[in-house]
Amino acid sequence: MIEFKEYEESLPESTGPDMTPLIDMVFLLLIFFLLTSFLARPSIPVDLPEAETAQLNEKPEVSITIRKDGILLLNGNIITEGKLESSLKRIYAFQRSKEVTIQSDKEVQFGRIVEIMDISKKAGARNISFLVEQKQ
């Protein structure tokens, strides 16, 4: 009789857990987040005020002017940014309205205007308005 050698199937040894389900889940999550990011655009509700042109009836009590060269004027007098807050605090100590009007050259960076607004708020200003030229 002929002897047949027993054929043993040699399977590769397992090197760890099966990664196929994990990879499937990663791709499913990737697809989910891609689809939801395109569908749901977050938006912040903003209630914008109506645009209106106000007439300045009287000269403002506190006026800050920012010139193109960066020089600050408080009620027409040149002042440094460091002294602005203390000067505004002194003025607001004797005022009830605590308003400030900011007039700026159109070439002044907006960040500079925001800095002056912050200083005014720290000094106690409650209302900040902007003086602009009307279009003709």
Q: Which residue has the higher pLDDT, 133 or 96?
A: 96
According to DSSP, the residues that pair with 129 across neighbouring strands are: 101
Residue 27, pLDDT above cutoff 80:
yes
Ramachandran angles phi, psi of 79, nearest 5°: -145, 150
Residue 136 near residue 98 (C-beta atoms within 8 A): no
Neighbours of 87 (CB within 10 A): 16
**So what's the pLDDT on residue 48?**
44
What pLDDT does 46 receive?
A: 43
Q: What pLDDT digit, counting tens, does each position of 83-105 carry?
A: 988 888 888 888 777 788 888 88
Spacing of C-alpha 87 from chain mean position: 29
Average pLDDT over residues 26-32: 93
User: Whole-prediction pTM value?
Assistant: 0.56
Q: What is the mean pLDDT of the chain?
A: 78
- Of all helices (H) and strands (E), which one includes residue 50? none
- Listed by start position, the domains of the chain span 63-130
Fold annotation for 63-130: Nucleotidyltransferase; domain 5 (3.30.420)
